[in-house]
Amino acid sequence: MVGREFGNGVRAAVESTGMTQRQLAEALGWQEAKLSDMLAGKGGVNESEVRELLAYCRTPLEERERLLELFSEQGSVYLQIPAEGVPDQVRTLISHEKEAIEITDWSMILVPGLLQTYEYVEAVTAKAQTVSEENIPKTVAARAARAEILEYTRTFTFYVHEQALWLPVGGEEVWREQLAHLLRLSVRKYISIRIVPRSIGMHAGTCGDFRLMKFPKYPPVVYIESVRCCLFFDDKETVDTYENILKDLAAGALDEEQSRAVINSILEGLQ
C-alpha cells in the first residue's frame, strides 16, 4: 500500500527529468533493475540512496519529504496526521480513491463524504476543530471535488445508518437538498445506497465508520479516520475482519428500493 504510493511518487520524479530509467540508473551508477524495483515499491534501496535519487531529479523539498516519510513507513499499517484540515484530505486517501475500482463505505453519523453536497460539506467543515477559519473555503472545495470519482467505470456501495439521515446538518434547507441529492445518486447503476435501519438495534457496524477500497492489481485497503489522524491497513487479517463487518451490515440493511423509500419519506416530512 505505502510501497506503491512511494513508487508512484518516485516514478513521477523520474519522469520529470525526461530521462529513461536506464539513463538515470547509469547517471547514478546503479543497475537498472535496482531502479525498477524501487519504482515498483519493492525496496532494495536505503534512505541515503532515495535522497540521492530525489536530489538528482531536483524534486521539490515538500515532495521529497513526503516520499522519504513514505519510504520510512512502509508496512501493512500506515498512520497519517495532516498538518491541518479534516483527515480525509490527506494525499494518500485521494490517491487510493482514484485508483480503486470498487469502494464500500460505512457511515453511522453523517452522510458519507463522497455523497455530500457542497453546502453539507461546508457545514460539517465549519464545525471541525481542526480547520482554521481562513482555510475553510479551501478545505471544503478540495473535499467536495473528491466526488468527481463517482463515475461508471467503478462501483460504489454505501451503507448509511438511518440516524445519519435524520441529522439536520446545516439547517433544514441544506438537510433537504442533501436528501434529494442522495435520491438522485441512488438511481445510478454503479452506486448502491443501502440504509441500515434503527430498528435492527445493535450491529457490527457500531465499531465505527470505515471504507474498504479494492484495486485491480493490489490487495484491498481499509481506511479509518479520527479527528486528527487516519489509518490505512492492507494486511489480510484486518481486511477480512472488516469484510465480515460489511457482510453483517448487508444482512441487516434495507435493499436499494426500500432505502430510497426511507430517504423519500424523511424528505417529504420536511416539505
Distance CA 197, CA 256 (A): 13
Provide the pLDDT confidence category of residue 157 given band limits of 50, 70 and 90: very high
Report the range out of 80-84, 215-219, 225-229 with the highest average pLDDT.
Answer: 215-219
42 and 164 assigned to the same domain = no
112 and 64 belong to one structural domain: no
Whether residues 86 and 63 share a domain: the answer is: no
Whether 52 and 112 map to the same domain: the answer is no
Q: 212 Cβ partners below 8 Å, 6+ apart?
A: 103, 104, 105, 220, 221, 222, 223, 239, 242, 243, 246
Pick from 13-27, 52-66, 83-97, 156-170 the range whose average pLDDT is largest: 156-170
Same domain, 113 and 235: yes
CB atoms within 10 A of CB 65: 12
Query: 39-53, 109-123, 165-179, 212-226: lowest mean pLDDT where?
Result: 39-53
Looking at 57, 75, 93, which one is the last position of a domain? Answer: 75
Question: What per-residue confidence (pLDDT) applies to 46?
Answer: 80
- Determine the structural domain holding residue 186 and report its residue range: 78-269
Question: How many whole angstroms separate alpha carbon 76 and alpha carbon 43?
Answer: 14
* Structure-block grid coordinates of residue 117: 453536497
Kind plus residue range of the DSSP H or E element containing 203: none
Q: Is the pLDDT of residue 178 over 50?
A: yes
Residue 209 cell numbers, joined: 465508520
Last residue of a domain, which of 75, 107, 136? 75
131 and 16 part of one domain? no
Asked if 84 and 67 sit in the same domain, the reply is no
Average pLDDT over residues 134-142: 83
Whether residue 233 contacts residue 225, with contact meaning beta carbons closer than 8 Å, is answered with no
Per-residue pLDDT, averaged over 132-145, amounts to: 83
Q: What is the pLDDT of residue 12?
A: 84
Residue where a domain terminates, one of 25, 52, 75: 75
Residue 225 in grid coordinates: 479516520
pLDDT band for position 76 (cuts 50, 70, 90): very low
State the pLDDT confidence band at 51, using cuts at 50, 70 and 90. confident
Q: What is the pLDDT of residue 74?
A: 60
C-alpha cell recorded at residue 35: 531502479
Q: Are residues 50 and 8 in the same domain?
A: yes
- Find the mean pLDDT for residues 123-141: 82
The amino acid at 246: L
